Amino acid sequence: MSLMKIALEAELAEAFKDIPIIDLKNIDSRDSEIRRNLGKAVRDACINVGFLYVKNHGIPESTIEGAVNASREFFDLPLEKKTELDIRKTANFKGYNAILSSNNDPLNRGDLHEGFEFGWEELSARDYDEKRANDGAMAGVNVWPSDLPAFRPSVLAYYHAAVDLGRKLFPLFALALDLPENFFDDKTKNAAAIMRVLHYPPQTGPVDDRVIGIGAHTDFECFTILWQEPRIQALQVLNKQKQWIDAPPVPGTLVVNIADQLSRWTNDVFKSTVHRAINRSGVRRYSIPLFFGTDYDVKLEPIPSCISPERPAKYKVVTAGDYVKERLKATYGH
């Protein structure tokens, strides 16, 4: 069955009620048939839901724990120390954003979380990094807290592990789109990936649906790899019947969701699904998303297998960096 026909059938199908779990244990298999079958499973999830859990993802639990513990230490710093790294002081949106300083849903009054954002950097810092030479609209260095020397290496260790996982996912997305496995290789050479470490304080008192952990939104890049705090329900995903479907933490998994760049690239064959997070657990919640995009100088032109006379191109062609920067400006009012 052609990709266009599969996409059409998905649009006519019933709304999803749950999120599939996909096992990545064979992601490095030398058997092309095994990889193709894995690509088909990914395709079904990307076309019908836009979200999936992945298990056997290959990131050691100790690496995750190190990043989470470092994040807790950072968010425990006094507010005046954190705001020294305020994201509005940088042109490339790197650094700290305070509670209610971002607003992902224009109808809301602000997002009830604080975060710290950073991009690619070698574990051993160097003055010039060729991977950042073509960042264009997103050019600029990371900023780091001077009072927590262990913070940078701990979060960067997880960042690099998640980037490695992201690089392994791109060939699966290519197979899912009936493309050669290396289709994305020359478009993702420079790890245009942004990571955020996030702290959601518990939301108590009267319910105000205009102030929640993070308002309803789609992500900006190709896809997101999300670690979320165990045993705390917060993430919800919107289906086409406008029902919010819970996406609880599943032990041993990460969440992967399609984002706007890949949705635009595939002419909406892959779904960039609206989602939000509400922390009414009564305790603090932490999460770590990695937003993996194409290189910032790449044009987001529709993939040939995703357009037809019946499904013409839907979007104006823009570079990935320009698209991300405009979305960040809208989020932070900066």
CA distance 299 to 35: 28
Asked whether the beta carbons of 87 and 94 are under 8 A apart, the reply is yes
Q: Indicate the SS3 state at residue 155.
A: helix
Written as one letter, the residue type at 312 is: P
| Token couple for 138 | 């997103």
Written as one letter, the residue type at 201 is: P
Q: What per-residue confidence (pLDDT) applies to 218?
A: 94
- Cα(first)–Cα(last) distance of the chain, in Å? 46
Q: Is the pLDDT of residue 137 over 60?
A: no
Q: What per-residue confidence (pLDDT) applies to 107?
A: 62
Q: What per-residue confidence (pLDDT) applies to 189?
A: 85
Identify which has the larger pLDDT, 151 or 9: 151
Residue 258 has, within 13 A of its CA and on its CB side, a CA count of: 27
Identify which has the larger pLDDT, 111 or 223: 223
Under the banding of pLDDT at 50, 70 and 90, the label for residue 138 is low
| Token couple for 177 | 């789109």
What phi and psi values does residue 264 have, to the nearest 5 degrees?
-65, -45
Closest by CA to 223, choosing from 92, 42, 101, is: 42
Q: Is the pLDDT of residue 211 over 90?
A: no
Find the mean pLDDT for residues 163-179.
95
Q: What per-residue confidence (pLDDT) applies to 332?
A: 66
CA distance 93 to 326: 11
Closest by CA to 133, choosing from 178, 192, 184, 198, is: 192
DSSP state of 104: S
Q: What per-residue confidence (pLDDT) applies to 7?
A: 83
Q: What per-residue confidence (pLDDT) applies to 105?
A: 65
What phi and psi values does residue 224 have, to the nearest 5 degrees?
-120, 140
Q: What per-residue confidence (pLDDT) applies to 333?
A: 59
Under the banding of pLDDT at 50, 70 and 90, the label for residue 91 is confident
Identify which has the larger pLDDT, 208 or 141: 141
Find the mean pLDDT for residues 140-160.
94
Q: What per-residue confidence (pLDDT) applies to 122?
A: 85
What number of residues does the chain have?
334
Identify which has the larger pLDDT, 48 or 109: 48
Find the mean pLDDT for residues 51-72.
98
Identity of the highest mean pLDDT range in 87-101, 123-137, 197-211: 87-101
Q: Could you give the C-alpha distances from 165 to 90, 159, 178, in angstroms and in order?
A: 28, 10, 21
What is the share, in percent, of the chain residues with pLDDT greater than 90?
Answer: 66
Per-residue pLDDT reduced to its tens digit, 234-286? 999 999 999 999 999 999 999 999 999 999 999 999 999 999 998 989 899 99
What phi and psi values does residue 7 have, to the nearest 5 degrees?
-65, -40
| Token couple for 308 | 């037809």
Strand blocks (E) in the chain: 21-23, 51-55, 95-97, 110-111, 114-118, 192-200, 211-212, 214-217, 223-228, 235-238, 244-246, 253-258, 275-277, 285-293
Q: What per-residue confidence (pLDDT) applies to 310?
A: 86
Who's near 266: CB < 8 A, 6+ residues apart?
A: 177, 302, 303, 306
CA distance 164 to 293: 13
What is the share, in percent, of the chain residues with pLDDT greater than 70?
Answer: 90
Q: Is the pLDDT of residue 115 over 90?
A: yes
Q: What per-residue confidence (pLDDT) applies to 90?
A: 83
Q: Is the pLDDT of residue 119 over 60?
A: yes
Q: What per-residue confidence (pLDDT) applies to 329?
A: 80
Find the mean pLDDT for residues 115-123.
91
Under the banding of pLDDT at 50, 70 and 90, the label for residue 130 is low
CA distance 212 to 105: 10
Who's near 150: CB < 8 A, 6+ residues apart?
A: 70, 73
| Token couple for 158 | 């997880």
Asked whether the beta carbons of 99 and 113 are under 8 A apart, the reply is yes
For strand 192-200 and strand 114-118, is the pairing parallel, antiparallel, or unpaired? Answer: antiparallel
Helix pair angle (151-176, 61-75), 10° resolution = 130
Under the banding of pLDDT at 50, 70 and 90, the label for residue 316 is very high
CA distance 115 to 213: 11
Residue 313 has, within 13 A of its CA and on its CB side, a CA count of: 10
Identify which has the larger pLDDT, 105 or 315: 315
